[in-house]
Amino acid sequence: MTQSFRITLLPGDGIGPEIMAVTVEVMNQVGSQLDLEFNFQEALMGGVAIDATGTPLPADTLETCRQSDAVLLAAIGGYKWDALPRHQRPETGLLALRAGLGLFANLRPATILPQLVEASSLKREVVEGVDIMVVRELTGGIYFGEPKGIFETETGEKRGVSTMAYKDSEIDRIGRVAFATAQKRQGRLCSVDKANVLEVSQLWRDRITALAADYGDVELSHLYVDNAAMQLVRWPKQFDTIVTGNLFGDILSDAAAMLTGSIGMLPSASLGADGPGVFEPVHGSAPDIAGQDQANPLAQILSAAMMLRYGLNQPVAADKIEAAVNQVLDQGYRTGDIMAEGMTGVGCRGMGDAILKALA
Ligand code: IPM
Ligand code: MG
């Protein structure tokens, strides 16, 4: 019997539409092989939404997302919208989508593929075999804490304020996702904070430590964020699963991503307690190469695989896509960002065609 899924597509800006088009073809091919039907519905978000409606996340886009089984997002933003007031910026739409769907858990894997070891700026022996999952809290912390704003002081000087705050319940729910994630991996969880300075981090550390009692099979450790950044580039293989707050997770996940040398390869998943998750590549909209058929679609395609695995509970389809990506890399196909000597250079479409052929 055919299983069908409603999927909202948010192609967004820059290279978004090209990598999304290729990914839809890949999903359709896998779907037809496994008797899965995907009903795609496209909606506006980001700069395109600002141009069409004046706001980066129109209400009907959020509603369409809510009505679907999963949301596949490409990338948003570009120079054109950078100077707009904050409430109209593409990034504000992304934060509103996360908050609106309650997506408090952001899973960002940084896995180095053996075919791409040379793409890393670090030595082979340091990165070979790296397989890290960053679990980033996504709807709290300093991104959303109150008070926030730019206020005028009595002396007429302006004062910018953002507040880093976490409640017990916010720490516990992301902590539980992280422990459960570590259980399914190598059973090691490192919690990252700044408890030597910040009260909010002290509470974070206390709660995560208390949770450990429920997960006897997970080995918990703690690092201060500055040390964690250093350890990530010194000896990344010491990490299995990392759990941290919104801001530290933003920074550390970029660093972890770059260990692999190819941010164009990395997918991510943002999940809530229930309802649809959002799946998107870690990279941005790359406006400098938009529309030139140069973009690497693999992070988007791997995001679709993550959607199938974590959002739609279709591990067989996810495995198929991941195997196809592996195969085209083995065959030597490379987009510009991961090109190396002796490999076959392809564009976005060419890479998509290679994946389709690998699946066939
Ligand atoms: C990310 C991005 C976003 C963030 C920006 C675009 C708002 O850097 O997803 O990591 O800071 O969360
Ligand atoms: Mg970021």
Whole-Å CA distances, 77 to 48, 83, 160: 9, 11, 24
Residue 332 has pLDDT above 90, yes or no: yes
Does any domain span residue 267?
Answer: no
Which residue's CA lies nearest to atom 4 of ligand 1? 250
Q: pLDDT, tens digit, for every residue of 190-221?
A: 999 999 999 999 999 999 999 999 999 999 99
Task: State which of 261, 293, 325 marks the end of a domain.
Answer: 261
HSE-CB for 13 with a 13 A CA cutoff: 26
Clarify whether 254 is annotated catalytic: yes
If you measure from the C-alpha of residue 254 to the centroid of ligand 1, how many angstroms do you get, rounded to a whole number? 10
Percent of the chain with pLDDT strictly greater than 90: 94
98 and 114 in a single domain? The answer is no
Residues with CB under 6 A from ligand 1: 91, 94-95, 250
Task: Please state the three-class secondary structure of 107-131 as a single string.
Answer: EEEEECCHHHHHHCCCCHHHHCCCE
Mutate to test the pocket of ligand 1, among 10, 87, 91, 137 (most ligand atoms within 8 A of CB): 91
Domain that holds residue 157: 110-261
Q: Quick one: which atom of ligand 1 is closest to the CA of 98?
A: 12
Same domain, yes or no, for 222 and 130?
yes
- What is the C-alpha to C-alpha distance for residues 90 and 96, in angstroms, rounded to an integer? 10
Catalytic residue, chosen from 13, 166, 193, 194, is: 194
* Ligand 1 site-directed mutation target among 45, 94, 263, most atoms within 8 Å of CB: 94
**Model pTM score:** 0.94
Number of domains in the chain: 2
pLDDT at 264 over 90: no
Domain co-membership, 256 together with 128 = yes
Question: Is position 127 within any domain?
Answer: yes
CATH number of domain containing 293:
3.40.718.10
Residues 6+ apart with CB under 8 A from 115: 326, 329, 330
Mean of all residue pLDDT scores within the chain: 96
User: Could you report the per-residue pLDDT of 126-182, keeping only the tens digit for each?
Assistant: 999 999 999 999 999 999 999 999 999 999 999 999 999 999 999 999 999 999 999
Tokens of 194: 């700044």
Of the residues 261, 293, 318, the one at which a domain ends? 261
Q: What is the dihedral of CA 195, 184, 326, 349, to 10 degrees?
A: -70
Separation CA 107–CA 346 (nearest Å): 29
Nearest CA to ligand 1 atom 6: 91
Q: Are residues 250 and 120 part of one domain?
A: yes
Which residues are within 8 A (CB) of 212 and not within 5 positions of it... i.e. 6 or more apart?
Answer: 179, 218, 220
Indicate the pairing of strand 188-193 with strand 219-224: parallel
CA distance 322 to 358: 11
Q: Which of 201, 229, 261 is at the close of a domain? A: 261
Long-range contacts of 167-172 (CB under 8 A, 24+ apart): 167/140, 168/203, 168/207, 170/104, 170/137, 170/139, 170/140, 171/137, 171/203, 171/204, 171/207, 171/208, 172/207, 172/211
Q: Do 135 and 251 share a domain, yes or no?
A: yes
Report residue 296's pLDDT band, with 50, 70 and 90 as the boundaries. very high
**Residues 73, 118 within the same domain:** no
Instruction: Give the residue, by CA position, lying nearest to ligand 1 atom 3.
Output: 91
Domain-embedded: residue 157: yes
The answer to whether residues 62 and 100 touch, using CB atoms and an 8 Å cutoff, is yes
Q: What is the pLDDT of residue 87?
A: 87
Write the residue with the smallest CA distance to atom 2 of ligand 1.
250
Peptide bond into 147 cis (omega under 30): yes
186 & 319 share domain: no
The reported pLDDT for the residue numbered 24 is: 98
Does residue 1 surpass a pLDDT of 90? no
Residue 194 catalytic? yes
The atom number, within ligand 1, closest to the CA of 76 reads: 6
Residues 41 and 137 in one domain: no
Reply yes or no on whether 237 is catalytic.
no
Is residue 250 flagged as an active site residue?
A: yes
Measured in Å, residue 248 CA sits from the centre of ligand 2 at: 10
Report the distance separating Cα 25 and Cα 15, nearest Å: 16
pLDDT bin (cut points 50, 70, 90) of residue 119 is confident
* CA–CA separation, 79 and 82 (whole Å): 5
- Answer for the pair 61, 44: CB distance below 8 angstroms, yes or no: yes
Task: Summarize pLDDT for 18-38 with one digit per residue, the tens.
Answer: 999 999 999 999 999 999 999
